Amino acid sequence: MDGIELEILWSNLISTVSDQARALQRIAFSPIVREAGDLATALFDRQGRMVAQAVTGTPGHINSLAAAGQHFVQRFPPDTLSPGDVLITNDPWLSAGHFFDITIMTPVFRGARCIGFFGSTIHHTDIGGYGVGAGARDVHEEGLWIPLAKLHEAGRPNELLHDIIRRNVRTPDHVMGDLSAQIAAGRVGAERLNALCDRAGLADIESLSDNVLRRSEEATRNSIRALPAGTWHGESTFDVPGGTRITLKAAVTVDNVAGELTIDFAGSSPEAPIGINVVLNYTAAYANFAVRASLDPDLPNNWGSLRPVRVIAPEGSIVNCRYPAPVNARHVVGMYVPFPILKALAHILPDRVPAEGSGAVWTIQIQGRDEADRPFTSSMFNYSGGMGARRMKPGLSATCYPTGVAAVPVEVLEAAMPILFTRKELRRGSGGAGAQPGGDGQCIGYRLLTASPWLLNAVASRTDLGPDGLDGGGGGAPGRFLINGAPVNEARKMLMQPTDEVLMETPGGGGYGSAGETP
């Protein structure tokens, strides 16, 4: 297969998964999916190797789906499947790291033979248990655990499993609606793959997949081979709700002969007693994000390109947690995973690596009663701080990084629930000083128009330790989370009074280079 034919077939595979990802994102009930693109879609071959993946909004999903593919084919070998089968799981350790993320795999049949799978993961509106937040003490408190299973068998729904899901979530219509959308996406993805095989005269995608994966692996190895050999270290410390400080250490080793990169998180903090623990899949997903952004954003994302990057972490550490550690809010730590890696890579790729940024977005969910005393639960919404400066450019203010979440507009939130925003402005001067200054965080003030007490479920981080600057740049200001002017630091839902006012000041990003010097 030459570089012309392969380009044509490959780009067709990618548009198949991308089209379905866009459709899923538009119709999802889950706010984190539609605003943040917190979903993934991918095509797998018969061996469960991920061949093509849509570029979506969050690094955490990109690539954790790749691991799931392998587990599905081990449990359900392709030749044991029938047309009309649909597979499901939300096992945190086998897929995307917490119960909210449900993965659906649809086998693609060409005639009577399964030639691959169309997979999608989306973050659902609810999964029972604790709900949004980090407050559970073990994973079982966090909701419904769906093992690797068949949601449909030969076109017939698995009624028992459907009933179990319906009975165990708070928003059954939305969860079933989003599952239907995932199944529809799998059906359309399978049709598109068959149409491509028809156009190109392919009986299956085995040889195409081999070519795609081999070239992706080689290109990734080549870009690693361009780096100097050696081991570099990076370390990032930040505080999480409740005040605990977490340290992540990364040792990045470049083998520029084999073209391999090893990222070792030895020395990182141990598992936490609250639901901020990260499974290794999810750690690897964010680690690969840092690698790809630094090496070459144009590298593909598939089983082949993931092979040369090895991510290891001690079992029982916060970035490789064991059953039954709670994992619900694993993004709080996961979104910091890139930073120690970037700090290590700054030694060899100073032009491509930003200074430390504010890190995890701050998430908020509100439950209460409106003026007519009707109960409501808001969807989760989020705000970002400042990005770290780049060597030749300042950091972006109030911009989400490393994840790709959009903020829900003030007007949309005010129309949806009795919330009143008093401020949403940049927090000037919060970005670190430097030859290139860090991006500023922002100040968000709000209260509720209600006569009843309400519950605030907010996850803030870096309210104690701001991000570091790079190469002599100043650090960004830590965030501030205030209720009626007094700082709070709480990992659990808080009971609020009707007149309480909340002010959230998100952290600024780190600066790059000493202030006063021109880069």
Partner 1 sequence: MGQETQGHSLAVDIGGTFTDVVLRLADGRCFTDKTLTTHRDLAEGFFRAVELALGRAGLAAGAVDGVLVHATTLVTNAVIERRGPRTAFITTEGFADVLLIRNEHRYDMFDPLIEFPPPLMGPADTFTLRERMLADGTVMTAPDLEAAAALGLRLAREGFAAAAICFINGYRNGAHEVAVRDAMRALAPSLSVSISSEVSPQIREWPRASTTAINAYTQPIVQPYLAGLAEGLATRGFPHAPLIMLSNGGVVGTPTAGRLPVRMIESGPAAGALAAAHLSHVLGLPKLLSFDMGGTTAKACLILDSAPLISGEFEVDRRYRYKPGSGFPLTIPSIDMIEIGSGGGSIAHVDGLGLLKVGPKSAGSEPGPVCYGRGGAQPTVTDADVVLGLLDPARFLGGDMALDADAARAALGALGARLGVDALGAARGVYQVVCEQMAAAARAHATDRGVDWRGLPMLAFGGAGPVHAARVAELLDCRQVVFPAMASVLSAFGTLVSPVRLDLARSALARLDGLDWDAVQALIGAMRAEGEAALAEAGVAPGAAQFDLAADARYVGQQNEVTFDVAALDATTIRAAFESAYHALYGLTLPDVAVEMVSWRIVARGPEPRGAAVPPPAGGSVAPRAHRMVGLDGAAEWPVFDRAALPVGARIAGPAIVEERETTIVLPRGWNATVHASGAVVGERA
- Minimal distance, residue 468 CB to partner 1, in Å: 16
18 binds partner 1 (CB under 8 A): yes
Whether 299 contacts 292, CB under 8 Å: yes
What is the closest distance, in whole angstroms, from the C-beta atom of residue 2 to partner 1 in the complex?
6
If one asks whether residue 404 binds partner 1 (CB under 8 A), the answer comes out as: yes
What whole-number distance in Å separates Cα of residue 402 and Cα of residue 278?
Answer: 16
d(C-alpha 310, C-alpha 284), whole Å: 8
Peptide bond into 83 cis (omega under 30): no
- Whole-number minimum distance, CB 297 to partner 1, in Å? 4
Q: How deeply is 203 buried, as exposed, middle or buried, from its count of CB atoms within 10 A (0-12, 13-18, 19+)?
A: exposed
Which of 53, 103, 120, 223 lies at the binding interface for partner 1 (CB under 8 A)?
223
Tokens of 423: 């401020």
Per-residue contact string for residues 21-40; x = within reach of partner 1 by CB under 8 A: -xx--xxxx-x--xx-----
Quick one: CA dihedral 112, 114, 119, 124, positive or negative?
Answer: positive
Q: What's the min distance (Å) between Cβ of 210 and partner 1? A: 14
Region 256-315 residues binding partner 1, contact defined as CB under 8 A:
289, 292-294, 296-300
Q: Which of residues 155-174 bind partner 1 (CB under 8 A)?
A: 171, 173-174
**Among the candidate windows 109-117, 410-418, 457-465, 477-485, which touches partner 1 by CB under 8 A?**
410-418
Q: Does 353 bind partner 1 (CB under 8 A)?
A: yes
Question: Applying CB under 8 A, which part among 75-83, 138-146, 235-243, 406-414 lies near partner 1?
Answer: 406-414
Q: Contact at 8 Å (CB) between 438 and 389?
A: yes
Among 415, 485, 486, 499, the residue binding partner 1 under the rule CB under 8 A is 415
State the minimum distance, in angstroms, from the CB of residue 40 to partner 1. Answer: 12
Q: In the bound complex, what is the minimum distance in angstroms from residue 293's beta carbon to partner 1?
A: 5
Q: Does 422 bind partner 1 (CB under 8 A)?
A: yes
Residue selected from 204, 206, 218, 501 as contacting partner 1 according to rule CB under 8 A: 218
Contact residue for partner 1 among 15, 237, 253, 452 (CB under 8 A): 15
- Smallest gap from residue 19 Cβ to partner 1 (A): 5
Binding to partner 1 in span 464-483, by CB under 8 A = none
User: Within 13 Å, how many C-alpha atoms sit on residue 154's CB side?
Assistant: 3
Please give the residues from 179 up to 198 whose contact with partner 1 meets the rule CB under 8 A: 180-181, 184, 187-188
Contact letters for partner 1, residues 102-131 (x by CB under 8 A): -----------------------x------
Name residue 253's beta-bridge partners: 231, 262
How big is the site for partner 1, counted in residues (CB under 8 A)? 89
Looking at beta carbons only, is 91 or 468 nearer to partner 1?
Answer: 468
Q: Which residues contact 362 (CB under 8 A, 6 or more apart)?
A: 382, 383, 384, 385, 458, 459, 460, 461, 479, 481, 504, 506
Closest contact distance (angstroms) between CB of 323 and partner 1 is 31
Residue 177 in the binding site for partner 1 (CB under 8 A): yes
Q: Which is nearer to partner 1, 1 or 149 (CB)?
A: 1
> What are the CA-CA distances from residue 56 to residues 281, 362, 399 (Å)?
17, 20, 17
354 is a site residue for partner 1 (CB under 8 A): yes
161 vs 410, which CB is nearer to partner 1? 410
Dist. CA 33–CA 58, nearest whole Å:
9
Asked if 421 is part of the footprint of partner 1 (rule: CB under 8 A), the reply reads: yes
> Among residues 187 and 233, whose Cβ is nearest to partner 1?
187
Residue 30: DSSP 8-state? -
- Residues 6 or more apart whose Cβ sits within 8 Å of residue 211: 1, 6
Q: How far apart are CA 353 and CA 470, in angstroms?
A: 10
Residue (260 or 490) nearer to partner 1, CB = 260
**Residue 25: enclosing H or E segment and its boundaries?**
helix 3-27
Distances (CA, A) of 477 to 51, 281, 354: 42, 31, 17
Site string for partner 1, 367-396 (x = CB under 8 A): ------------x---xx-----x-xx--x
Looking at beta carbons, which pairs linking 242-246 to residues 24 or more positions away fall under 8 Å?
242/274, 242/489, 242/490, 242/491, 243/464, 243/489, 244/272, 245/269, 245/464, 245/465, 246/272, 246/276, 246/318, 246/333, 246/336
Helix (H, G, I), strand (E, B) or coil at 67: helix
**Which residue, 262 or 399, has its beta carbon nearer to partner 1?**
399
User: Least distance (Å) from partner 1 to the CB of residue 113?
Assistant: 25
- The DSSP H or E segment spanning 250 is strand 245-255
Q: Name the H helices within 378-480.
A: 410-416
